[in-house]
Structure 1
Amino acid sequence: MKRWKDCPFEIWLSIDRKIDTDFPYDNIVISSSPKNLVRMRDVDFITPYVIMMQDDHWLIDDVNTDKILECIEIAKKYNTGNLRLLQDPIAYDVFDTKLNLMEYKKGKAYRISARGGLWETEYLKNYIAKFEDFWEMERLGQKYSCENDKLILCTKHRTLPIIDAVHKRKYTEFAYAMLDAAGLDYEREIMRCKDSLISDIKGTIIEINPELITGIQSILNIGHKQKY
């Protein structure tokens, strides 16, 4: 990987179709289901920890492998179910000042997230078995996580330097700028001011009372992310 040249881990891809790619994946697991967590039921996990990333998560800076390895030791020490490698959403509860660790306590919205986390594999398997896609896991997983006696921590700073490059099937302006700077063609529409305004309004509402909003979304079964 351009942004992680000394990556010491195997890189696996879970996908629902055959693809032509020059990327040197260590393994490609093809499943028929379009639902990402259903597909992951076909993955034969061989390691005690997994970093799970979606295809719209782009590395924007070089990864410090030493810091990732330190996080694995932290995860072992505190027996975490998931050690998030960035704050998203912001965590307000300090777990360890010296280690720059924050905690997502039980009952917090988005306590469970598919973004840039170092998962204990057996803990992740619980969510793969119970939910069908990331949206369902993020909305309903927070309640389910309260039944599991595992800490959910996150690093105070962006240990895994990723961003969401796609929103509502469109590239963010930052993602477009990255593609343009690299001289690459883009295959999606670009978010415009109107799209960004709507997204910002929704984000502001969620920030005001995330637990209430996600609770309403779960009850009414609304707010699904579009498949991209």
Structure 2
Amino acid sequence: MPEHQPELASIYNVFGLSSNHELSTLLLNIENTKRFSDLLHAVEREFFMVPGEPSDEPEDAGHPVDDECLVNSWGSTPTEYLRQFKAALPVAAANSIPAYEAPETGVKWSLTGDNGSWDYDSLGELLKDNYGHDSDGDGHPASYRPGLYEGDTVYRGIECKDDPARFLPDANDVTERMYENACDSDAGEWVDAYPNLSKAAEAELDIALAPLKAWARKHCQPDFFTIKDSTPHTVTAEDVSRSRKS
């Protein structure tokens, strides 16, 4: 029991402290407990929240539906909480995936503006490779191609790259492949409507596939692209001068 504050004995006991500890030690334990609690609740709010069910109560009509937490740190024993936590980990993994941010892309340049011709990152590079270079081809008049000169038109466009996650199989692809593989199995002649998933199972499959998106975005960024906002550009003497100085 605390020597000078016996009314705090039960609080000291909660933290495993004896009467020899100062009040400052008790306060430090309380502050640490509050900090740990705040950290736990921050994790729960960030990763373990799911949309709640609408209330049937008349007084709740028209009010927004609150999210629900998949783990209950208030009314659970440590064993129960760990079981809830483990079951909710796939949801946490899905919730941890940030929204897709397209990589920064820049301007591309093309001699013709045709698909597959956007080979240059700058006008200067395009001019260095093509300015004044007439081509006789194979010698036949029809194969002659004039070089690039002042007053000629080239094309400028914005490079666009796809989200690599869109090239992954979705839930339908997965279940279709399961069906095909089941049909090819030794028991294939008895396969019917496989797998027959409930709505909850379909939702779990979507959650299970979500981490693949983060993997694809980390390791499978495409080097191919499309072009938007293609605009013609007339080559000027100033363009040529700058390209020769760069």
Query: TM-score normalized by structure 2?
Result: 0.17
Structure having the higher helix fraction is: 2
Structure number with the bigger relative contact order (C-alpha 8 A, sep ≥ 6) is: 1
Structure having the higher strand fraction is: 1
Question: Which entry has the higher C-alpha Rg, 1 or 2?
Answer: 2
